[in-house]
Amino acid sequence: MGKNGYLPLFETKPAGGLVFFRSYAASIFIGICFICFHRVSYFPVTERWVWVGMFVAELWFSFYFFITVIVKWNPVFRSTFKDRLSSRFEEEELPGVDIFVCTADPRLEPPTMVVSTVLSVMAYDYPPHKLSVYLSDDGCSDLTFYALLEASGFAQLWLPFCRKLKVEPTSPEAYFQTTPEPVDDVFMANEWLIIKKSYEDMKNRIESITSLGKVPAYRRKEHNGFDEWDFVLSPHHHPSILQILIDGRDPNAIDIEGKALPTLVYLAREKRPQIHHNFKAGALNALAFDNLTENEIYGSLRVLMKLELAGFDGNGGPCYVGTGCVHRRESLSGMKYSEELAVELKAMKYDKKIIGSASFNEEDCKALASCTYEENTPWGKEKGVKYESLVEDVLTGMSIQSKGWRSVFFNPQREAFLGMGPTTLLDTLVQHKRWGEGELQILLSKHCPFVYGRPNMPLKLQLSYCIYNLWAPNCFATLYYVFVPSFCLFRGISLFPKISSSWGIPYLYVIFVHRVHSLVEYVWLGGTVRGWLNEQRMWMFKRTTSYLFAAIDHMLKLFGFSKSAFAITGKVADDDVHRRYEQEIMEFGTWSPMFTVLATLALFNLLGLIAVVTNNVAIGDARMKIFDVFGFQILLCYVLVFINLPIYQGMFFRKDSGKMPASVTLQSVAFALLASTLTIY
Known binding-site positions: 109, 138
The answer to whether residues 106 and 141 touch, using CB atoms and an 8 Å cutoff, is yes
* Alpha-carbon distances of 515 from 161, 471, 522, 542, rounded to whole Å: 48, 19, 11, 18
Annotated catalytic, 313?
no
Annotated catalytic, 427?
no
* Strand 131-137, strand 97-103: pairing: parallel
* Alpha-carbon distances of 273 from 80, 267, 276, 344, rounded to whole Å: 47, 19, 8, 43
Interhelix angle for 142-165 vs 111-122, to 10°? 40
Secondary structure E strands in 299-428: none
DSSP 3-state of 500: coil
Positive or negative, the Cα torsion across 148, 153, 154, 159? Answer: positive
Q: Which of 138, 142, 247, 427 is catalytic?
A: 138
Which residues are registered as beta bridge partners of 260? Answer: 254
Residues annotated within the binding site for UDP-alpha-D-glucose are 109, 138
Q: Which of 44, 55, 38 is nearest to 491 (CA)?
A: 44
Burial level of 377, CB count in 10 A (0-12/13-18/19+)? exposed
Q: Which of 105, 137, 142, 393 is catalytic?
A: 393
**d(C-alpha 566, C-alpha 389), whole Å:** 10
Amino acid of residue 545:
T
The answer to whether residues 321 and 309 touch, using CB atoms and an 8 Å cutoff, is yes
DSSP 3-state of 300: coil
The answer to whether residues 493 and 67 touch, using CB atoms and an 8 Å cutoff, is no
User: Strand 241-246's sheet: what is its strand order?
Assistant: 97-103, 131-137, 263-268, 241-246
Which residues are marked as active site? 138, 393
